[in-house]
Amino acid sequence: MVTEFVNQNGSIRFRNITKKYGDLTVVDSIDLDIKPGEFFSLLGPSGSGKTTTLMMLAGFAVPDSGQILLDDRDISRLSPQERNLGMVFQNYALFPHMSVLDNVMFPLKVRKYSNKECMARALWAIDLVRLSTFAKRLPKELSGGQQQRVALARAIVFHPEVVLMDEPLGALDKNLRYQMQMEIKELQRKLNMTVVFVTHDQEEAMNMSDRIAIMNNGKIEQLGSPKEVYESPRNVFAAGFLGEANILPYEDLDPDYRRYMSMQPQNCLFVRPERVSLTRASAEEAVDKTRLTGEVLNVSFLGNIVRYQVRINESVKVYADATNLSDMQVFAGGDRVAVGWKQAGDIRIIRHE
């Protein structure tokens, strides 16, 4: 019988971490603190440095400068085995000739646990991911979601302080991916694990994370809770990468409107499509330089929402999302509409960096 494991450690600190490959700097002087028990996501496009950052934490890549501290212990130059971190890969990396039970016991045998302890801990981990009836099966006899659970059980079976996940849900279909997101988050909360999660999927990061670091060109563009980074992006990259966004550059807007909004040349106007409201444009609104008016170009039915594309001028197009309700106002292509915001705080002026 294994005593229920609840982790009390797992703080991580990156101090001025840099990694280069030749003349290319892939991680550029990162400073980052991750709290014990936090679900932390590194989010960014391909080549942003997120996976390299994770690999340096795991010990599979060595930083050129800086320190990585785990609970105040410098692990920057330790081997992966010495760090005692759990790891879940995108392709699961299960041994095809081993049963579920043997796969989960493998990291315990490497660490020289007794046979009795190996069995007890492995059965505990397998039960935790609800695969007790599959313990004797081979990986090829499991679904993708079941293989993912095996990989997760193997990552937690030796009670690591931190579990690292490198795009582990990328191979799953949408419905199964959402189910696994919920299961991983539930397990993380139950064990109070520190999880560092790499993904390029914005929705996945927002659904699972306590905090998100948005990365680009080896730097952290923004760091905060999902709500903070979604509603208050600090620059154009963060605004455009996380979710759908209307980003209207200073130079493409009417001068009177720019003055009304107190915009500067380095500014952009930012608003999410779900915060945009449309009404039929009156004759007065059509000549009012403090309002945006335009023509509906496209109407897209997306199930729970209807998305309108409105042309303000030749350079500016605005997207507006309307909830698909029976009493919603409906517009068609060619309709003249006034573009507004539900509240003053829904629209922001951000810097074009």
* pLDDT tens-digit readout, 24-50: 999 999 999 999 999 999 999 999 999
Regarding whether 210 and 326 lie in a shared domain, the answer is: no
> Residue 353 carries which DSSP code?
-
Side chain identity at residue 2, one-letter code: V
Q: Is residue 122 part of a domain?
A: yes
Q: Is residue 243 part of a domain?
A: no
**pLDDT, mean of residues 75-98:** 88
**pLDDT, mean of residues 55-80:** 94
Asked whether the beta carbons of 213 and 42 are under 8 A apart, the reply is yes
Asked whether the beta carbons of 296 and 334 are under 8 A apart, the reply is yes
Q: What pLDDT is stored for residue 194 in this prediction?
A: 95
Q: What pLDDT is stored for residue 170 in this prediction?
A: 74
Regarding whether 267 and 222 lie in a shared domain, the answer is: no
List the domain range (segments joined by +) for residue 133.
12-231
| pLDDT tops 70 at residue 23 | yes
Beta strands in the chain (DSSP E): 12-21, 24-34, 39-43, 65-70, 73-74, 86-88, 162-166, 194-199, 211-216, 219-224, 246-249, 267-271, 276-280, 292-301, 305-311, 317-323, 336-341, 348-351
Q: What pLDDT is stored for residue 228 in this prediction?
A: 93
User: 130 forms bridges with which residues in the sheet?
Assistant: none
Q: What pLDDT is stored for residue 284 in this prediction?
A: 67
Q: Is residue 237 part of a domain?
A: no
Q: Is residue 18 part of a domain?
A: yes
Task: Using a pLDDT cut of 70, give the percent of the chain over it.
Answer: 94
**CA 60 – CA 37 distance, rounded (Å):** 23
Q: What pLDDT is stored for residue 326 in this prediction?
A: 65
**Residue 194, token pair as written in the block:** 């520190």
**Residue 334, token pair as written in the block:** 């060619």
Regarding whether 116 and 34 lie in a shared domain, the answer is: yes
User: 232 forms bridges with which residues in the sheet?
Assistant: none
**Residue 212, token pair as written in the block:** 């998100």
Q: Is the pTM of this model over 0.95?
A: no
Q: What pLDDT is stored for residue 283 in this prediction?
A: 67
What is the domain-level CATH number for residue 344? 2.40.50.100
Average pLDDT, the chain: 89
Q: Is residue 36 part of a domain?
A: yes
| pLDDT tops 60 at residue 158 | yes
Q: What pLDDT is stored for residue 25 in this prediction?
A: 95
Q: Is residue 337 part of a domain?
A: yes
Angle, helices 115-128 vs 100-110, to 10°: value is: 130
| pLDDT tops 60 at residue 300 | yes
Confidence of residue 221 (pLDDT cuts 50, 70, 90): very high
Q: What pLDDT is stored for residue 352 in this prediction?
A: 78
What is the domain-level CATH number for residue 168? 3.40.50.300
Regarding whether 37 and 91 lie in a shared domain, the answer is: yes
Confidence of residue 66 (pLDDT cuts 50, 70, 90): very high
Of the listed ranges 47-61, 69-83, 132-146, 276-290, the least confidently predicted one is 276-290
| pLDDT tops 70 at residue 3 | no
**pLDDT, mean of residues 170-176:** 75
Q: Is residue 280 part of a domain?
A: yes
Q: Is residue 245 part of a domain?
A: no
Q: What pLDDT is stored for residue 288 in this prediction?
A: 66
Regarding whether 174 and 30 lie in a shared domain, the answer is: yes
| pLDDT tops 60 at residue 242 | yes
The last residue of one of the domains, among 231, 266, 281, is 231
The last residue of one of the domains, among 175, 199, 231, is 231
Q: How many domains does the chain have?
A: 2
| pLDDT tops 80 at residue 233 | yes
Q: What pLDDT is stored for residue 181 in this prediction?
A: 87
Regarding whether 261 and 198 lie in a shared domain, the answer is: no
| pLDDT tops 70 at residue 97 | yes
Regarding whether 262 and 208 lie in a shared domain, the answer is: no
